[in-house]
Structure 1
């Protein structure tokens, strides 16, 4: 069992023990995820690029908490939907490698055209 699978199982049991499965619909989970991402964004909102790359210990502690919240909701959402997050990420990275070949996109932030189909 991977660490991610273990975390998903622990979250599943956490929800089951509190009878929260009824609230953990994909819609509710994605909305909660978006809210937590918003809280993470708020931690960075007024920082300069340099400050965001090297936040102080208090800011970093808040960021760590928000990253934890985002991770928990993302893992729970994937579990409820039956999506293997690691496989989904690998597939997306494979797509990105095809869309953004290193020679054509090195040092560029331009967007690639959509994949056909």
Structure 2
């Protein structure tokens, strides 16, 4: 069974292919476009006390479109890497130490709060520091 992200990726690919845009789409230019589109996510909030949800949704959809196209072109499985990164973040930010704490993991270890996991470059594994 195909996941939703793969279905969306195929739609984005088809959209580009139907317009013969694939010849213009390379990793560098798509990475630039991704950052430019991501900055537009701020537009619905600028100079406003409340934001328009539809405007925000459109900007987020533009970001997703380019992100999916970039990952597709370079052959990155976003579902796999999302899960892998979430696991890494769970190791860096264990619930016991970070519940309700709004700090980067390196700041918590500097200030001596609880147990923190950091990467040990010699053995390339996560080790607990107390």
Tell me which interval the TM-score lies in, with the shorter structure as reference length.
Answer: 0.7 to 0.9
Report how far residue 16 of structure 1 moved: 1.2
Normalised by the size of structure 1, how large is the TM-score? 0.84
Normalised by the size of structure 2, how large is the TM-score? 0.76
Greater percentage in helix? 1
Report how far residue 112 of structure 1 moved: 1.1
Gaps of 5+ in 1: none
Match of 1:27 in 2: 28
Cα distance in 2, alignment partners of residues 97 and 47 from structure 1: 35
The root-mean-square deviation of aligned C-alpha atoms, in Å, is 1.6
Report how far residue 14 of structure 1 moved: 1.3
- Larger gyration radius, structure 1 or structure 2: 2
Gaps of 5+ in 2: 107-117, 122-130
How many correspondences in the alignment? 109
Q: Which has the higher contact order (CA 8 A, sep 6+)?
A: 1
Match of 2:88 in 1: 95
